[in-house]
Structures are given as structure tokens and as C-alpha cells.
Structure 1
Amino acid sequence: MNRKTLVLPAVIGLLAPVLAACGGSGSGSNGGDGIVVGTTDRFTASKDAPAPLDPAYAYDVGTWNILRQTVQTLMIQPKGDGEPVPEAAQSCGFTDSGNERYACKLRDGLKFANGDAITAEDVKYSIDRARAIQSDSGVFALLSTIDTVETQGDNEVIFHLKTADATFPYKLSTPVAGIVNPDDYEKNKLRDGFDVDGSGPYTMRADVKGDELVDVQFTKNPNYKGTLKVNNDKVELRSFADADAMGTALEKGDIDLMTRSMSPAQIQKLSNASGGAVDLVEVAGLEIRYLAFNTSAPAVKSRAVREAMAQVVNRSELVSKVYGSQAEPLYSMVPASITGHSNSFFNKYGDPSVTKAKSILARADITTPVKLTLHYTTDHYGSATKEEFELLQKQLNGSGLFDVTIKGEPWATFVPAERKGEYEVWGMGWFPDFPDADSYIAPFLDKDNFLKLPYANSRIRNTLIPESRREADRLSAVGSLTNIQDIVAEDVPLLPLWQGKQYVAARDDVTGTAYALNSSSTLQLWELGRGMSG
């Protein structure tokens, strides 16, 4: 077996990636110079979501991975992970002891891809625009601690925050804080369709069929100025209907690399293969999966119903039967490798127990079986999602306490329905906005949360989240973060299921694959190059 070991900087205790070889044939990209990357992410413009790639709207890992190649931010997460560093800025930092005033100076000579100069006023325009539009994706909430944005001259931007926020540098590294040209993006209106313009490492050309983006050509931006070293001139991102089709394309040499979402069976097969021209890279990941509850829906309005579900669900069986070694049971919305994690759900519920669940429902005078529907998306998190929900259904119905139906919908239908409150219980995945516990708490539990959850806990929102953000030393925030996780386990507006690893499979003449994804699942296409990887 052609085996390699990669030693990378640790990510808050995460294991360094390891590399194993697998079978394959062909020359990759059919001999073309551009590196072709496969994904099962689907990009659709619809009546409910006409502007999927506008930084003021986009809020899923797929669309963010397009924006990160094209739209520049003041800060960026380094390729080996860790705290964010200046990108469009030459320097940034808090200028007061209370973490409420944050100032950035822009790099000299910054330009948009079309040659227009970038000024501090453009940065202010971009961030104020996202805050003002308040799109229903909820992405604007990442900027919720901003009070006002001030400019001083053409090169300095000052953010005045409402409250202390030690995580603010991370938020400035997310695409919602991306710098856009006022000539291309209207102040009070989202930009419909799939056009994207910015000052990032690439320009892009979109191949659209109907209302769906099927292929993106990224070309090196000659006007780019920032911290990134771009190791290629062109990358193509090609969207596939499913993991099998993507895997076939890699085997045939039609693509050079594939990433999310490979199926568990594919990953297992690639891990066990020996020899050949394709390598499998296991990369430290922070992905989680969970169930969300519409706590206003009659079927799950009673906390006892949600508690009983938490008591019945068997995470270990779910992981072992569906995902194997590629995932681990999760007992909090904050994954185990993040500072501030607590096993709150295990501490409260222990091992699965039908007897305990029955007692919970009996005390609340709930008639059984409780009838409800679990909803999942058929095309966003990979083919194993259906199998996962079939097993959840079997576990819940097998208890005799529930009468569960499951229903799958494509992502383009699933998301608008979820946001409109049409589902009682639905399954979601989460790739963090940045590697900090705040990114697993505020997006779900704070005001303007992206799930539009009716659940609201005033102690979490008004006391514990602000307390945690005041602590620049994240170890000092552990107390507040643990209290939040304990409340979630008590009230069960969310039910964490598992946390997973992430993988890249690439032909062995592609270099930089160890950094193709960071722990937040950011696709770093600029790291890829050509040349035998050894």
C-alpha cells in the first residue's frame, strides 16, 4: 500500500490527518491543465431563494465554499487552522481593553477583480448592506454584535460593538463579511442568480442549466492581493447528482479530486484499497448532525416528548450501523474537540432506556404512541442520510412510545419549508462558521437564529452568550458554555446525534490535498497544484 502520514498543526486537540492509498486509473482531468474538483453540493436558484450566492444571503457550506474563492474578507482562517489572521487587511485588532472596539487597516493597492480600487468605504458598505438586508437565511446574525461601522480615510475601518465579543475576528473571516463592489451589489436588494464578483484569489464563471449551477470555472485573479499563495491558474468545481456518480468520474479520470459528500461505503472501500493512483485523505473535521424541534408544533410542544426522544435515541447504534469509524456519538451541540464541550445529554439521560422514556411520558400524561414526522434532506448531506433516518424511525417506533413517519425532500424544497415552520422535527447538519463553541450555540439559540426556532431561553440569550463572548481566553468561557449545554439537554430544542470526520479523495498527481479542506470544511482550492505527491 502506498501510505503516507501527514503531520499538520493541531486543531484544538484534533488528530493530525492521515493518508491512505486506494485504487484508480486514468490521467486526471483528461489531461487538461485545470484541476477538476467534484462535489455533491447542489446550487439552485428558486422563488424562495433567488440569490443563493449573495454574501448577504448565503449560509451553507456549499455556497460559502464558492464565495471563499472569490470574495475577500478582512480576516481569514489560516490553512493549518488556529486564530484568524489579516487577509484584505494588513492589520486588525481590538483597540480597547473591553473588546468592544475593533480596528482594521487595509492592504495597500487592494482592487476588485475588475480593477476598481477598494476603499474602507467599500468595506463599510458591504457589512452594513448585509446587516440591513437581514435575509431570511439568518446569516446577518453573525454581525449582530456590531453597533456601527466607521471609516477613517480610505484605509481604516473601525467596528464599534454593542457588547464585548472575543469571537469577532472569526466573524470577519466569514463570507457574510465579504467585501463587494457597490457597482455590482445594490444596497437594499439581494443579487439574484449565480454571478459573483469580488477581490478574492479567483474570478469565476458559472455554467447554469435551468435554475441550477452545475459547474464553476475558477480562474486566478491577477489583481488579488492577500495572504494566500495560489498554486494553480484554474480550478473547476463540478456538481454531481450523487456520490456514486462523483466516484465514477474520479475512477475514469474525469475529475481529479472529490470531497463532500462521499458515502460511508465509498470511504470504507477507498480506505481498504491498496496500490493505484488515488489517495484518500482523512482531514480533521468539526461537522455535526442533529435533530431540531419546532417547539410550537402540537406533537412536540411538550418538553416531555422531546425528553423521551432523547432518552430513546441510540447514538452508538446509529453511528456503528450507518457511519462506522467515520463518526462518533455526540452528546452536546458542541463537538468533543472544541474548548467548552460538555457531555450534557449523556450526563442527563445516560444510556438509552425505553423504561425511563415511558416514565417521562407517563408523568406528563402524554398519550402514546406519539405520532410525528421526521423530515430530512435527500441530497445535501450524502446518501447515508436516508439510512440514518430509517434507523431513527426504527429505534423510536421500536420503543412502542412513538409512531414515526419519515419524509425526505431535496434541499431546495427542504430549507424553505423548514424556515416557514412547516416541520415538527427535522434533521440538519452543521459545519461551523469558525472553530469556536460560539459557532455551535449562537446560530441555534440566540435571537435571529438561522433555524427560526420558536424556542427562546432568556438566560442563554441575555446572560450566558454575552458572558462567554467577553472571554478572550476561551478556557475562561467554559463555565458559561457548559451552563448553556446543560439547559439545552434539559429543554431539548435540539437533539445532537453525531460528529464526523471529513475526507478528500484525489489522484496522486494532485498536490496540496492535505489542506484542501480545513476543520470548518472550508474548501481551499488555492492549495491544490500538479506534481507527484510522493
Structure 2
Amino acid sequence: MNEMKNKLNAALAQAVRGRITRREFTQLALASGVTLAAANTMFASAAKAEPKKGGTFKIGVGHGATTDSMDPGLYPDQFTGTALWGTLANSLTEIDADGNVTGDVAESFEASDGAKKWVFKVRKGITFHNGKAVTAEDVVASIMHHRGDDSKSAAKSLLKSVVSVKADGAETVVFELDGGNADFPYTVSDYHMPIMPKNADGSVDWQSGIRTGAYMLDKFTPGVTATFNKNPNYFKADKGWFDRVEFLSIKDVAARTNALLSGEIQYMDRCDLKTLDQLKQSPDHTVSEITGYGHQIYAMNVTAKPFDDVNVRLAIKHSLDRQDIIDKVFLGHGTAGNDNPIAPTVKFAVDPQPRHTYDPEKAKAFLKKAGLESLSFDLSVADAAFSGAVDSAILWKEQAKACGIDINVIREPDDGYWDNVWLKKPFVASYWSGRPTVDWMMTTAYAADAAWNDTFWNHPKFNELLIAARSETDEAKRAAMYAEMQQILHDDGGLINLVFNTYIEAHANNLGHGKVAANWQLDGMKIAERWWYTA
């Protein structure tokens, strides 16, 4: 036994130096009585100590549309977000693996005047891909790109509180807000707000793809692929290990899985839960499951009939058995939602009461309050929204029959779903990666003027509390405001939070990484910057 233990320790030392493959280490570990899961963990922990430079990293993503744009304000999902932001660009700040906000293009930031004024210092020596030094003027122009009257940027509502943003010299950017906001550094980490070069007319050059990131754009074909080459002048010496990174839009999960198993790609997101056990049996691949802030939802337009009646909305919320759907469609992966978008792990999160559980009698009672004996409506779905959206809708249709509700499930095409269905049809499947603060999530999706308010909900009291809580420095008072907001949305909104999901992804065993971030999928959408090959 001691001999096997010594051999195992020696193998671990070899793994640290990259001199033994995962397969060789696993065979030895199994022979010494270690389980396969433990062996994979041991090897990964050892191998990641010695990142290797070079190689081409190919990533298969279950998003991407032919309508995708280089304009960061319009990035809709993980394909554009991970490829055109996390790989290509940097924002002023970023969220680390522990959920904390840290400097990115900014080396520091400091608040004053009750958090109404924020001063960011631009990191010295940072350059764009064309060699031009990044200045405070570039930062100002990049922020202003989202603030124009005609802007359709998803970041526009996040920046509504900004009264002015100005350069104070070459390295200092000063934000003046209309009220205090202790969370403002989180806001400017958003993937819609990369720093871009300023044009002579004061606008920004978003078209060329010149950014500051670990990789430089080679080619972008919307809805198909995005390829990048290493930036030799990247300002983070310990990031950006690959020579080349390629993203492939592979929306069909079976095709994505086959691409991984065949070696066409080395990483895939949104694994098929139905075949997950088979994928876990592959000795050359690792399946990861990360709990973040993400949630998979159905969103009804509350300005469209019959959803403009709160009693109809409440009837619908009691017509689906969320846990049954989680068990049968998601195979137990995830936690049932309660029509509140704030994940339990987020500060100031509450669980509004009463919980919206499956209750046919209660659903019928709410229909009766709305003056209805029965209800029929269309529900537009596609697995582009989230894996299992179609199956969930079909199961929900059967559950709703006992409530006097007939759901006509319309299966929409995956391609173009976010442009042609979401925010267009009155009741749709959708998903949110979530946000690390209550203010950020609510401002992005439920404020009256939010560009991505996919329920078209406008509640005056909610909007007042959102503004008031943002500048409240007393945490007890702030907590009470956020609790009231979550309750209002739960009671009145058009959100059906089906499940707080986990990010289930898979990758080749010769990939190494540090602690994986949970704020977005694909390691905070920065997988290309943060990961490496171990052999």
C-alpha cells in the first residue's frame, strides 16, 4: 500500500510539471484505490499549477444568431458576450471568482460625496490592439456610446443615474451620479460596456473590433464563428495562454456534444441533461456544475391582454408544478423559482410569500376574480432560450389543464429567436444569467425604462424604491426596500421564474483553470482569458 501511495505522490509531482497525462495518472490512481472523480480532481489541482502557453482552444456555444452585431450594446447572449467581450475586450472593472468587483481597465476606483461621485484611474501602460494607448477620453466615449437618446443599448438603463462622465487628465475618469450608488463599480463591469477607441468626432470605433483584450479579432461571422489570435501586448501577464481561440455557434445540443467527444471542440456549454451520465463516463472529459445567479423563466407582456390583469397573471403562476418540471426535464438540477429574480446567494435576497406553488384550485379562484371560467393563450418557446424550454412548456401545458388553462405551445426557430420572438411575442421562454447585486438585476430587467424589460412591467412604487435604495447608506433600510421590491415583483409582475439553474458545462481533461466564476456562464464569460492547456 505504501508503495502505491509513493507512486501516486510521484505521479502528482509529474502532473505539476506537465510530464504525465491525465489518462496515465487516472490509471495509476484507480489502481491505488482512488475513485475516478477523486483522481480527476487531484490531477486538475496538480496540473493547473503549470499552465502551458500555446495551442488553439475551440469552444462550442449554444447561442449565436445571424443578426449578431459587433456593437457591444446589442450583445444578447453568451456567444457575443464571451467571444466579443470576455475574449476580445475589457470593461472598467470585472467580477472575480468570489463575486467581488475588482479593477480591470481601471487600476483603482474611489467614491466620495455619499457615493454620488466616483473616480476611476485608468491602468498605466494599457494599449488597444492597434498599439494606441488607452486614455480617459476613450473611457468617456465608450460610456457615452450607451447614453444617447437614440441608443438601444442594454446598458442604457444601467447608466441612467449618470449625470456626467468626464476625463480629468489622461488617466482619470470622473462619474457624477444623481444619487449615491455604492454598487456603481459593479455596474461598469457589465459585458455591454467594453472600453473602445475614441474617434475624432467623439464617437467610438465599435465596428473594427479593436479592443484591449487578451486576444485580437481575426474573423467574426455572425451566428457561425468568431476567431481570435493572441494579443502579445496584453497587460495581464498571467492571462491569455492560448495562441488562438475559436468560438463555434452550435445551437443543437446533440451536435455540440458530438463535437466535444470527437475533439472538434474542447469545451461546450449547456450540456444535455438527458445524456449527462453518458458524458460523465468519458475518461477524456470533465463535466462541471456551477451554481450562480442564473434563472430560466417564462415572461408575459403585462400590457397585452389577457396578461394585463394581475389575477390572470396569478392564476398562471399557480398553474405549473415547478418541482415536477425540474425533476423530469432538468433531472433535479436546479432550485424551484418563486417569481423573484434575485438568487438566494445574492446580498439582500428574500423569498417572498406566499410561494407560488402548483395549486389548480387557487388558479381557478384567480381566474374567477378576473371574470373567467377558463383561459387560453399562446406560449412561444425554443431551446435557444434555455435547454429544456420546449420540454418544460409541453409538461406545463399538461399540468395547466387541471387549472382550466389551455396553453398553445408554439415551437419557434432557434435561429433569430432573440430578435424575432423575445420582446416581440406576448409570452415567451427566456433566461437570465442573473446579476451579483439586486440593483443591477432590477435595473436591467424590471425598471420601467429598461431596454430588456421583457415583461413590459411598470410599477411606480417599485421604480421609486429602486432609486431610493440605490442611494441608501443604512443597510437595514436598504434591505427593507429591496425586500419590498422583491415582494411587489413577486405579487404583481409578469415573471414566471421556473428554476434557478446551475451552469452545466463540459471540457477536455487537458484544460486547466483556477477557481471558476459564477457570475456568468463560461467562467464569467472570460474562459479564453483565464484557462490554459496543461499538456
TM normalised by structure 1 equals 0.84
- Cross-structure match for 2:56: 34
- Cross-structure match for 1:326: 333
Range 282-291 or range 144-153, more displaced: 282-291
Report how far residue 207 of structure 1 moved. 4.8
Report how far residue 124 of structure 1 moved. 0.5
Preserved contact between residue 419 and residue 451 of structure 1 (Cα < 8 Å): no
Aligned-partner Cα distance in 1 for 2:274–2:75? 30
1:165 aligns with 2:181: yes
1:150 aligns with 2:150: no
Report how far residue 117 of structure 1 moved. 1.7
Partner of 2:507, secondary structure, is: strand
Partner of 1:158, secondary structure, is: strand
The structure-2 alpha-carbon separation of the partners of 1:514 and 1:280, relative to structure 1 and needing over 3 Å to count, comes to farther
Partner of 1:203, secondary structure, is: strand
Task: Note the alpha carbon deviations across 1:375-399, whole angstroms, 9 max, x for none.
Answer: 12343423x2110111111111232
The structure-2 alpha-carbon separation of the partners of 1:123 and 1:132, relative to structure 1 and needing over 3 Å to count, comes to same
1:107 aligns with 2:129: no
The structure-2 alpha-carbon separation of the partners of 1:227 and 1:124, relative to structure 1 and needing over 3 Å to count, comes to farther
Report how far residue 528 of structure 1 moved. 1.6
Aligned-partner Cα distance in 2 for 1:405–1:459? 34
Unaligned runs of 5+ in 1: 7-17, 22-31, 46-50
Report how far residue 20 of structure 1 moved. 11
- Cross-structure match for 2:446: 445
- Cross-structure match for 1:94: 111
The structure-2 alpha-carbon separation of the partners of 1:335 and 1:188, relative to structure 1 and needing over 3 Å to count, comes to same
Partner of 1:325, secondary structure, is: coil
Q: Which of the residues 386, 390, 398 maps onto 2:390? A: 386
The structure-2 alpha-carbon separation of the partners of 1:445 and 1:428, relative to structure 1 and needing over 3 Å to count, comes to same
Preserved contact between residue 127 and residue 176 of structure 1 (Cα < 8 Å): no
Partner of 1:160, secondary structure, is: strand
Aligned-partner Cα distance in 1 for 2:209–2:397? 41
Task: Note the alpha carbon deviations across 1:260-310, whole angstroms, 9 max, x for none.
Answer: x21111333334x2x611111222322101222211212222111111111
Q: Which of the residues 336, 342, 355 maps onto 2:344? A: 336
Give 2:508's aligned amino acid: R
Aligned-partner Cα distance in 1 for 2:309–2:515? 46
Preserved contact between residue 38 and residue 239 of structure 1 (Cα < 8 Å): yes
- Cross-structure match for 2:507: 506
1:63-74 equivalent positions in 2, closer than 5 A? 63-66=80-83, 67-74=85-92
Preserved contact between residue 510 and residue 534 of structure 2 (Cα < 8 Å): yes
1:307-456 equivalent positions in 2, closer than 5 A? 307-331=314-338, 332-344=340-352, 347-349=353-355, 351-366=357-372, 368-382=373-387, 384-399=388-403, 401-410=404-413, 412-418=415-421, 422-432=424-434, 434-449=435-450, 450-451=452-453, 453-456=455-458
Preserved contact between residue 469 and residue 481 of structure 2 (Cα < 8 Å): yes
The structure-2 alpha-carbon separation of the partners of 1:189 and 1:491, relative to structure 1 and needing over 3 Å to count, comes to farther
Preserved contact between residue 376 and residue 407 of structure 1 (Cα < 8 Å): yes
Aligned-partner Cα distance in 2 for 1:145–1:291? 29
1:300 aligns with 2:300: no
Q: Which of the residues 207, 228, 238 maps onto 2:248? A: 238
Preserved contact between residue 20 and residue 280 of structure 1 (Cα < 8 Å): no
Aligned-partner Cα distance in 1 for 2:122–2:236? 10
Report how far residue 349 of structure 1 moved. 4.7
- Cross-structure match for 1:10: none
Report how far residue 475 of structure 1 moved. 6.7
1:479-494 equivalent positions in 2, closer than 5 A? 479-494=480-495
Aligned-partner Cα distance in 1 for 2:514–2:267? 9
- Cross-structure match for 2:4: none
TM normalised by structure 2 equals 0.84
Range 51-60 or range 402-411, more displaced: 51-60
Partner of 1:217, secondary structure, is: strand
Preserved contact between residue 59 and residue 265 of structure 2 (Cα < 8 Å): yes
1:204 aligns with 2:236: no
Once the two structures are aligned, what percentage of the paired residues are identical? 21
Aligned-partner Cα distance in 2 for 1:428–1:482? 24
Report how far residue 94 of structure 1 moved. 0.7
The structure-2 alpha-carbon separation of the partners of 1:87 and 1:514, relative to structure 1 and needing over 3 Å to count, comes to closer
Give 1:214's aligned amino acid: V
Aligned-partner Cα distance in 2 for 1:244–1:514? 28
Report how far residue 499 of structure 1 moved. 0.6
Task: Note the alpha carbon deviations across 1:31-52, whole angstroms, 9 max, x for none.
Answer: x92122221211322xxxxx62
Aligned-partner Cα distance in 1 for 2:126–2:154? 29
Q: CA RMSD in A?
A: 2.7
Aligned-partner Cα distance in 1 for 2:204–2:121? 26
Report how far residue 514 of structure 1 moved. 5.0
Preserved contact between residue 36 and residue 256 of structure 1 (Cα < 8 Å): yes
Report how far residue 369 of structure 1 moved. 2.0
1:149-298 equivalent positions in 2, closer than 5 A? 149-183=165-199, 187=203, 191=207, 195-208=208-221, 212-226=222-236, 229-259=239-269, 261-271=270-280, 273=281, 276-298=283-305
Aligned-partner Cα distance in 2 for 1:440–1:108? 32
Partner of 2:147, secondary structure, is: helix
Range 53-62 or range 332-341, more displaced: 53-62
Report how far residue 142 of structure 1 moved. 1.6
Give 1:113's aligned amino acid: H
Task: Note the alpha carbon deviations across 1:468-506, whole angstroms, 9 max, x for none.
Answer: 322568676321111111112221321211111112312
- Cross-structure match for 1:132: 148
Aligned-partner Cα distance in 1 for 2:473–2:110? 12
Task: Note the alpha carbon deviations across 1:44-92, whole angstroms, 9 max, x for none.
Answer: 22xxxxx6231222243332212122122111112x2322111111211
Preserved contact between residue 360 and residue 402 of structure 2 (Cα < 8 Å): no
The structure-2 alpha-carbon separation of the partners of 1:198 and 1:375, relative to structure 1 and needing over 3 Å to count, comes to same
Report how far residue 348 of structure 1 moved. 2.3
Partner of 1:479, secondary structure, is: helix
Preserved contact between residue 65 and residue 416 of structure 2 (Cα < 8 Å): no
Range 56-65 or range 278-287, more displaced: 56-65
Aligned-partner Cα distance in 2 for 1:440–1:495? 15
Partner of 2:228, secondary structure, is: strand
The structure-2 alpha-carbon separation of the partners of 1:379 and 1:360, relative to structure 1 and needing over 3 Å to count, comes to closer
Aligned-partner Cα distance in 2 for 1:455–1:283? 31
Unaligned runs of 5+ in 2: 1-34, 45-53
Preserved contact between residue 65 and residue 223 of structure 2 (Cα < 8 Å): yes
Aligned-partner Cα distance in 2 for 1:168–1:134? 23
Report how far residue 407 of structure 1 moved. 1.1
Aligned-partner Cα distance in 2 for 1:276–1:482? 46
Preserved contact between residue 64 and residue 77 of structure 2 (Cα < 8 Å): no
The structure-2 alpha-carbon separation of the partners of 1:354 and 1:241, relative to structure 1 and needing over 3 Å to count, comes to closer
The structure-2 alpha-carbon separation of the partners of 1:364 and 1:379, relative to structure 1 and needing over 3 Å to count, comes to closer
Report how far residue 457 of structure 1 moved. 0.9
1:527 aligns with 2:530: yes
- Cross-structure match for 1:56: 73
Task: Note the alpha carbon deviations across 1:384-435, whole angstroms, 9 max, x for none.
Answer: 2110111111111232x11210112235543334566x42221210012x41
The structure-2 alpha-carbon separation of the partners of 1:93 and 1:408, relative to structure 1 and needing over 3 Å to count, comes to farther
